Amino acid sequence: MSNERYGARVEFTSGLSDRLPQVRCALEQLRQRPHDGGLFAETRSSLHELAATAGSFGLDELTEIALRVEQA
């Protein structure tokens, strides 16, 4: 892995401490407002991006979890 890619991976994983609580909050909001199409689309897009980025860095478990939640 190149230094640049390694740095990007470190930056991504460091940001998870902020990002995962945001995803959890969005999922809680969806539970309260299940018919909010905008919130649904935004949350699904965020999960898709999370899964794709995690996958590009070889974080297979995170990718699998994000994809499962996205498809739920």
Full residue range of the structural domain in which residue 27 is found: 3-71
According to the model, what pLDDT value does residue 42 have?
95
According to the model, what pLDDT value does residue 20 have?
95
**CA 27/CA 57 separation, integer angstroms:** 24
- Predicted TM-score (pTM) of this structure: 0.86
Per residue of the chain (72 residues), what is the pLDDT tens digit? 799 999 999 999 999 999 999 999 999 999 999 999 999 999 999 999 999 999 999 999 999 999 999 998
Count of domains for the chain: 1
**CA 58/CA 38 separation, integer angstroms:** 30
Assign 3-class secondary structure to the chain. Answer: CCHHHHHHHHHHHHHHHHHHHHHHHHHHHHHHCCCCHHHHHHHHHHHHHHHHHHHHCCCHHHHHHHHHHHHC
